[in-house]
Every structure is written in C-alpha cells, then in structure tokens.
C-alpha cells in the first residue's frame, strides 16, 4: 500500500477517535499542553525528569527496597514543599513518618499536616488522599506499605483526576510499584542503594542510583547518583542531608556534580 494511502487511513482513524471520544483522547506530542514543573530542590533528580522538576497535577512514584534512600528523598521534597506551598501533607498509613528525620531539612511546620488513616483500612487511605487532592493541597507525600499499595487500584484513577484538576503534586513512596500504581503515575523513579558510606568505622550515609523508569512528560531512561548523608547533629543544614549529587546522562555519558 502506498505511504500516502496509509497516511489517509491513519488520519481517518484519528478523526473517528476524536469524534467519538473528544480531541483530548488522542493528540500529537507537539499539541499537548505544557506541563507545569515544580523544582524539588534536588537538582540531579529534577534534571532526570526532563522538565527541570516534578510535574504538577500528576502522580509520581519513588520506589526502592528498604534503606535505599527513597524516604530521605521524599522527606527532602516534603520539607521544601512546606516552605513553598500553603499546605503540604504526609499521608502515613504505615505509621512510619519520622518527624526528627524531617527536621534535618528545615520544614515550615506551620504548613505541614500528617494524616494517619485507621490502621488496616485501605479504603480510608484512598478517600483521604483523594479528598485532600480535591481540596487543593499543594503537595501530598504518600508513604504506602506493600499491602496498601496493592489495594489502591479502585481509588488511584480518582486521585490522578483530582490532582490534575487542582494541580496538586502527589509523590508515592513504595518498595515496589504494583501495576495499577505504575499505570496511574506520570513519573516513576527507581532508587537503588549502591554502597554504604563509612568514616572511621562509622556509618555516615549511602550512595544510591536513581533511574527514571517511566516518564509521560519527557524521555525516560536517565540516571543519576545521589549521596545521602545521615544526620550528625541538630545544627545541620539541608545540604548536609543530601550532600554531593552526581548526575549521569545515559545518552552522552556526561557527568555533573552539584551540592543540593
């Protein structure tokens, strides 16, 4: 079949889809609306997204096994959100939120709310997250145990729709993203611990690799290495929690370091 005929048939199929489901059902990439980005403050992570920040109005996932550094990244973002948004919320069904760890990143506690739904009630987690996103919470950090994440499928579409309408930024922390959560997310970052940091026999931090495994707003596949330093005292600044950040582009092999 000639190429011109294929193009005609393809355009006809696109017209049918637009007629039945609307113009937004199928669109060329250059016609998509621009995505508003929120700089998280972790420069190497922001560059992974391709838009210099996390996409507002979307669900983002940070996954990784225990002690990989994903919680430290989430807390750094949460602390910055308390200083930049009117309201930042941590939804903590697993009762794992550590306020002392958050304090190292200098949050504005006046803008922070911690929500702890009833233990074992997975529906309450979804209802709380959706209601908060609808109400216009600027930033939601969801720390989801495996059991809650696996049961999240019924309310994830509602959460994604609510976030899109209110431009709330939703970040979910999970060990492994189930299929429903992976599908609902626009951005997925996988964190892997590379090595522990030791000084004079003392554990002082870790080095981790962050990979952009899914990206609906730019190209996926980029990688970065981050160095996370554990708190050594009450007077530390945020730079001490996330010290040296090294970014590696897969396409060019270019490396860049920055203090976050």
Query: Could you report the per-residue pLDDT of 162-218, keeping only the tens digit for each?
Result: 999 999 999 999 999 999 999 999 999 999 999 998 988 888 889 999 999 999 998
E strand intervals along 64-222: 88-91, 112-115, 139-143, 169-174, 187-199, 202-215
242-248 and 187-199 as β-strands: parallel, antiparallel, unpaired? unpaired
In angstroms, rounded to a whole number, what is the distance separating the alpha carbons of residues 110 and 114? Answer: 11
User: What are the backbone dihedrals phi and psi of residue 44, each rounded to the nearest 5 degrees, phi first?
Assistant: -65, -35
pTM for the whole thing?
0.79
Per-residue pLDDT of 119-159, as tens digits, reads 778 889 999 999 999 998 999 999 999 999 999 999 999 99
Q: What fold, for 35-259?
A: Rossmann fold (3.40.50)
Q: What angle do CA 107, 83, 113 make, to 5 degrees?
A: 60
């Amino acid at each position: 079949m000639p190429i011109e005929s294929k193009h005609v048939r393809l355009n006809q199929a696109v017209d049918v889809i637009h007629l039945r489901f609307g113009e937004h059902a199928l669109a060329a990439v250059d016609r998509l609306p621009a995505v508003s980005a929120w700089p998280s403050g972790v420069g190497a992570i922001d560059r992974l997204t391709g838009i210099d920040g996390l996409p507002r109005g979307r669900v983002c996932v940070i996954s990784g096994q225990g002690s990989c550094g994903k919680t430290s990244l989430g807390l750094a973002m949460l602390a910055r959100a308390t200083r930049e948004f009117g309201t930042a919320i941590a939804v903590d069904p697993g009762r794992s939120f550590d306020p002392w760890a958050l304090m190292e990143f200098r949050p504005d506690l006046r803008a922070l709310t911690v929500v702890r739904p009833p233990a074992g009630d997975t529906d309450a987690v979804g209802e709380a997250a959706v209601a908060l996103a609808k109400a216009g919470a600027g930033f939601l950090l969801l720390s989801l145990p495996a059991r809650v994440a696996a049961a999240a499928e019924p309310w994830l579409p509602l959460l994604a729709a609510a976030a899109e309408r209110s431009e709330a930024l939703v970040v979910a922390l999970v060990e492994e993203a189930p299929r429903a959560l992976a599908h609902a997310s626009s951005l997925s970052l996988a964190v892997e611990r590379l090595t522990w940091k030791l000084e004079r026999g003392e554990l002082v931090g870790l080095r981790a690799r962050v990979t952009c495994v899914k990206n609906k707003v730019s190209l996926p596949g980029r990688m970065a290495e981050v160095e996370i330093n554990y708190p050594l005292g009450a007077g530390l600044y945020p730079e001490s929690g996330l010290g040296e950040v090294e970014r590696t582009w897969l396409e060019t092999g270019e490396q860049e370091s920055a203090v976050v």
